[in-house]
C-alpha cells in the first residue's frame, strides 16, 4: 500500500565543504547557556547552520562557581568555499559575542 501521509521537503545541500569549529567557554555556573547559543546563531544565520552544546563541565581545572561549556559551531557556505581568513574572522566574532554574554574563551 503506498504512503499517503505528508511528505517532507528534501533538504537543500550545499556543494561546498562545511566547516566545524569547537569552542570552550567559561561562565558563571548559574548562567543559562541558551542565550550564548542564540547570540552565536544570530551572528550569521545563513552561514551558521548549527550550534551544539556537547559538554558542560564543573570541577578540576574550572574555577569555583564557574562551568566550562563546549560548543560545536557548523558553518555551511551556500555560494563558495570559505577561506581561512573568513573562518578566523567569524571565530573572532563568535568569541566577541560570547564575551558580551559573560562567557570567556577557555584557554
Per-residue pLDDT of the chain (107 residues; tens, 9 = 90+): 676 777 777 777 778 889 999 999 999 999 999 999 999 999 999 999 999 999 999 999 999 999 999 999 999 998 899 999 999 999 999 999 999 999 999 98
Asked if residue 59 is part of any domain, the answer here is: yes
pTM: 0.85
Please name the helix (run of DSSP H) or strand (run of DSSP E) that holds residue 65, with its range, or none.
none
| Segments forming the whole domain that contains residue 85 | 19-105
Q: How many domains does the chain have?
A: 1
Asked if residue 43 is part of any domain, the answer here is: yes
Asked if residue 3 is part of any domain, the answer here is: no
Q: Which CATH number do you get for residue 36?
A: 3.30.70.380
Residue corresponding to grid cell 557548523: 74
Asked if residue 29 is part of any domain, the answer here is: yes
Asked if residue 71 is part of any domain, the answer here is: yes
Asked if residue 13 is part of any domain, the answer here is: no
Asked if residue 6 is part of any domain, the answer here is: no
pLDDT for the residue numbered 7: 76
Asked if residue 2 is part of any domain, the answer here is: no
Q: Do 68 and 54 contact (CB within 8 A), yes or no?
A: no
Amino acid at each position: 500500500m503506498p504512503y499517503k501521509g505528508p511528505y517532507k521537503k528534501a533538504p537543500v545541500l550545499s556543494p561546498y565543504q562545511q566547516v566545524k569549529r569547537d569552542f570552550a567557554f567559561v561562565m558563571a555556573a548559574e548562567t543559562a547557556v541558551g542565550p550564548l547559543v542564540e547570540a552565536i546563531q544570530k551572528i550569521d544565520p545563513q552561514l551558521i547552520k548549527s550550534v551544539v552544546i556537547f559538554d558542560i563541565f564543573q570541577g578540576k581545572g574550572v574555577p569555583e562557581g564557574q562551568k566550562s561549556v563546549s560548543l560545536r559551531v557548523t558553518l555551511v557556505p551556500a555560494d563558495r568555499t570559505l577561506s581561512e581568513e573568513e573562518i578566523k574572522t567569524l571565530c573572532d566574532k563568535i568569541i566577541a559575542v560570547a564575551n558580551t554574554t559573560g562567557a570567556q574563551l577557555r584557554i
